[in-house]
Structure 1
Amino acid sequence: MMIDLKYESDRTCVARIEGEIDLASVKEVRDTLSEALERGCNNVVLDLSDVSYVDSSCVALLVWLNRVLEPRQGRLVLAGANRDVSRVLELSGLLSVAPVLSTADDEADALSSLGMGAVAQEPAWERTLTFAADTAELASARQQVMGLLDGLGISESVMFDIRVAVGEALANAMRHGSPGGTSDVVEVTVEAYEERVAIVVTDQGCGFDGSLPDESDIYAASGRGVMFMRALMDRVEFAPCESGGTSVRLEKHVKRTAGVQGRP
């Protein structure tokens, strides 16, 4: 096995791994990444495009990285995993429960998703919708929000990911963030950029920071909505509103076949 570590910035590094990640090789990977973490890297890209085999040792490595990076507000992106490696990762369940973990098609996409928060760029357009906090109107609200993204040339699979994440954010806002019931209002702002879309859902509740009592319990009665949002979107940020309530920002890095100017 070979590992090549490159620093993209003081906070971001890329580890390109070649070969197999198993009990015999995982220590070398962990030791290399430990050095990067001690240096201050809070965002880690693991380029797995040349990895042909992983086992439970790799899963343990990812659990360790998640535990280290989460309190730092860091990110871990797995890039370029082949079908077999992806299947092992899916079977592990980590992709849905590890809050800092996401995937990307390749290293370039991974770095783009990590750099989104630093991009000083105004959206090409933004639109704001308001809805009564009535769960009977959830389907209509989802449809209206997604309708703003129609025509941007976003792939069907990515649109589905966004639809599920937006639906979970709307459901949380209406169910948990609206103490006044249907008299409360949920606001949704959609922003379109050249390389990403952002959806901001704001409620009038008592506030929520996005943390869950036990994110490792996949049988918990609630909390899966936040896990879905984190698994499906590239960036999920919860923030308190000055006037009360919570705002959750969902961002997705997209490849489009149509421009954003003049839409919708």
Structure 2
Amino acid sequence: MGGVLCAALAACPALAHAAAATCDARSIAAVAQADVFDGAVATAPDDRVVAQTCKLWPYDATIRLAAIAFAADAAAPGERELQLRVALLDAASGKVLAGYTQALGEDAAFELDADSLRLDTARYDVAPGTRAIGVVVHSVARGPSCPDFSSEDALTLLVRDGRTLRPVLQRDLSLWQRVKGEPCSPGQGGVITESAELALAMAPQSHAGYADIVLTANIRTLESVTGGGPDAGRTRRARQLLRYDGTRYVATSGGNASWPFGN
């Protein structure tokens, strides 16, 4: 039986995000009560849903994918203790086949809204008969007004082991940093910042049964101009190779460890 790999993804300035496909009541109840997770969420799980997204898996239409963030209490947005649950469900019966859970605590730098979760069903074939899926967790928190650095879209890759989805990689995919100058004084000129967006692709070679992963970073460097004129910008691209060591994906020895890969 082919394994299933799932990605849970969690920036500097917040990126726009599309409305997520909502889950039906049966799927929400199944994910809330399934014994593959540690404990039931609540007797009325709909009241505790903070973010949700569900869809049929194009790779296998007998499987329905779900990613749901439940609040553990009735605290205000930005102060909640959340539990993210990622599940594979039988599309016909609605039964949860495998699951992953992650605790997420909200604060000034991290907050979810209704559309913060997105399922990625691109063709991430990590091994013959094994395709990856992804979940993007996007924060809508404002964060600090004059930051030195920021990261967002935290990627968690999960491999199916029976009824469990096991994490094999965690990675921030959207990053930003101040390189030079005062962060709150862009009008003075000389403030240099960099932003990076990372994408992953499966490489043709493999190790320990899984294909290598190539991370590609599209990096944009901006330098502010005195008087508030248009920033002078330039772009470059960098890559890092990840290999599976039998437990998780790690950077290759001697590989690119510069920003944003070494964050």
Q: TM-score, normalised by structure 1?
A: 0.28
